[in-house]
Structure 1
Amino acid sequence: MTQDFQTEKTQAAAWFRQLRDDIVAAFHAIEDRHESGERAGRVEVRKTKRTADDGSDAGGGEMSVMRGGRVFEKVGVNISTVYGALGERAQAAMAARKGIPGMTDDPRFWASGISLVAHMQNPHAPAVHMNTRMFWTPHAWWFGGGADLNPCIEYDQDTAHFHAEMKRACDPHGGNLYQELKEWADEYFYIPHRKRARGVGGIFYDDRNTGDWDADFALTRDVGAAFLPAFVPLVDKRRETPWDEADKDVQLRHRGLYAEYNLVYDRGTKFGLETGHDPDAVLMSLPPLAKWV
């Protein structure tokens, strides 16, 4: 059985909040730099709440969403800290993933994290996803997260830049770690029924517990801190690229892939809905518009 980890929980939740604040400030700056359009977009913050089955407080978070900006058509940067007891379905899912003994005897949990998805106005500017999180039960703790790029119109140099920044984040934590997490992302962000990847990849890890909490938290911080250097230069490069209706059609069809993946396969979506979190916050990742054949 693990210790209570109250100090570590507080540190992790505070880091996720600070990262949210840094990203929101950077996205506001992008909106201000792009002078085309009526009004620079701004994030609106709404508190979310999770209620346990017995009606008691079970934590919550904040949705930070921008809609209809000059550059961002829709972007959400959510943070949450939730706790309570896992229901039977969530217990089974956790036990299957980790092989954690005793979940049915003591199903308490605590989870905190940040989740980001950005959908862009310009089809040449890539969509992106990033999240990092910490999960605790009386039986184990672990971290998870990563970032992946989802362009509808691919540029090899953009893909190379994004992956280089992810590698820079991983390299201090093990010489082969980037390759390991890249392959994990390639496998995780694959859409079986389409027989293709969701995007051009990135890195992904889950259930990370090396036995050294400080080291695992340091990796999680580095992954989160790598996001802005990996993404912002790509947005600034592509946000003024001319586009036409054919480009927009490509973008809307690609968003359909993104929606399919998140609704059918994504672990975070399933966990959020099964544990009773605010559905609007859980489904924030869905694009504002998408198109299917």
Structure 2
Amino acid sequence: MTDLFDTRKARAAAWFRELRDQIVAGFEGLEDRFGEGVPGRFEVTPTVRADGGGGLMSVMRGGRVFEKVGVNVSEVHGTLGERAQKAMAARGVPGMDRDPRFWASGISLVAHMVNPHCPAVHMNTRMFWTPHAWWFGGGADLNPALEYPEDTAHFHGQMQAACDLHDAGYYPKFKAWADEYFFVPHRGRARGVGGIFYDDLNTGGAGADSWEADFAFTQEVGRHFLPAFVPVTERRVNTPWTEADREAQLIHRGLYAEYNLVYDRGTKFGLETGHDANAVLMSLPPIAKWT
């Protein structure tokens, strides 16, 4: 079983790296096609987790289309601390007190745009393994400061297409989960217009092996990201905007920052397990405002 999961870990990590390469190329292609001046390019920095593993942090700042965008991949391993062990136990993972080893790999993306009419976006997918359990998780959600219903419909349509290729029940379930998860309780509102969110995906349960099916679904979510986001960006990138539009964008970014610092699971896990803080906090906007 160990050899089998060593192979599966390698396959998952390789896919997240492949997806990263596709998205970086797609975003640099947008920089080449739109705007004036020098097109933005990603700066790539290796990241290291002191207790084991690391990844690549790819960040573009001051682009023609993207004011700031990060596309990070990681593959980390080690031993969970007491607080993380308790969190895993609360999620129903048995045996963490006896053997708290873990391995995790994934891709995480957040884009903050130059034009206020272009929505910010988030996407991540990941695989998590312990000696006692494994699962996939992830999703994608759109975060416009100035919403266009047709953009929201397009983005959700692509997320539904990814879900429907695997299970007709996934989209309504994972959309509802996103609506609940990407909610900012202290503001009493959602941080954006949603998308899909899923976690603890191991559909086989006891006595069945669903890894291939669950991995295939996670790959499908990744494949549908660019078709979900790029057409929306192409539609809005040349829309004229005003200082009032920029003000709305910056205030919305404040909401986004609040959510990521207070509620986001990935931020909490990354900081608690000692991953590179710059990579963990890559999601924060370059400029934000609060009223």
TM bin, normalised by shorter chain, reads: over 0.9
Equivalent in the alignment of 1:11: 11
Q: Secondary structure at the match of 2:125?
A: strand
Matched, 1:119 2:112: yes
User: d(CA) in 2 for partners of 1:90 and 1:49?
Assistant: 19
Counterpart of 2:22?
22
- Tell me which residue corresponds to 1:61: 55
Distance in 2, Cα, partners of 1:280 & 1:93: 24
Q: What are the equivalent positions in structure 2 for 1:124-139 lying under 5 Å apart?
A: 124-139=117-132
1:42 maps to 2:46: no
1:168 Cα shift? 0.3
CA shift for structure 1 position 28: 0.6
- The number of aligned residues is 285
Q: Deviations over 1:229-255 (max 9, x none)?
A: 000001111011000110000000000
Q: How does 1:142-221 map to 2 (within 5 A)?
A: 142-211=135-204, 212-221=210-219
* Residue type at the aligned position of 2:228: A
> How far is the alpha carbon of 1:104 from its aligned partner?
1.1
The SS at the match of 1:7 is: helix
Secondary structure of 1:173 counterpart: coil
Gaps (5+ residues) in structure 2? Answer: 205-209
Structure 1 residue 262 corresponds to structure 2 residue 281: no
1:102-127 CA-partner distances (Å, limit 9, x unpaired): 10110000000000000000000000
Q: CA deviation at 1:192?
A: 0.4
Residue aligned with 1:236, SS: helix
The answer to whether the 8 A contact 2:35-2:65 is kept is: no
* SS of corresponding position for 1:252: helix
1:105 corresponds to 2:101:
no
Distance 1:8 1:221 in 2: 13
Shift of 1:3: 3.9
**Secondary structure of the equivalent of 1:290?**
coil
- Using the size of structure 2 for normalisation, the TM-score is 0.97
Q: In the alignment, does 2:241 pair up with 1:243?
A: yes
Q: Could you say what the CA RMSD is over the residues aligned between the two structures, in angstroms?
A: 0.8
Please state whether the residue corresponding to 2:137 is helix, strand or coil. strand
Residues 192-236 of structure 1 show CA distances to partners (whole Å, capped at 9, x for unaligned) of 000000100000000111120000000000000000000000111
Aligned-residue offset at 1:174: 1.2
Partner of 1:55: none
What amino acid does structure 2 have at the position aligned with 1:231?
Answer: F
Equivalent position SS for 1:51: coil
Q: Which amino acid aligns with 1:128?
A: V
Give TM-score, length-normalised by structure 1: 0.96
Using the aligned pairs only, state the percent identity: 72
Q: Is 1:51 aligned to residue 50 of structure 2? A: yes
Tell me, what secondary structure is at the counterpart of 1:124?
coil
* Residue identity in the other structure for 1:93: A
Q: Which runs of 5+ in 1 are unaligned?
A: 53-57
Supply the distance in 2 between the matched residues of 1:271 and 1:158 (Cα, whole angstroms). Answer: 31
Secondary structure (helix, strand or coil) at the match of 2:165 reads: helix
In structure 1, what is the Cα distance between the partners aligned to 2:149 and 2:280?
31
Distance 2:113 2:61 in 1: 10
> What does residue 286 of structure 2 align with?
288
Shift of 1:170: 0.2
Q: Find the counterpart in structure 2 of residue 85 from structure 1.
A: 79
Give the secondary-structure state (helix, strand or coil) at the position aligned to 2:49. strand
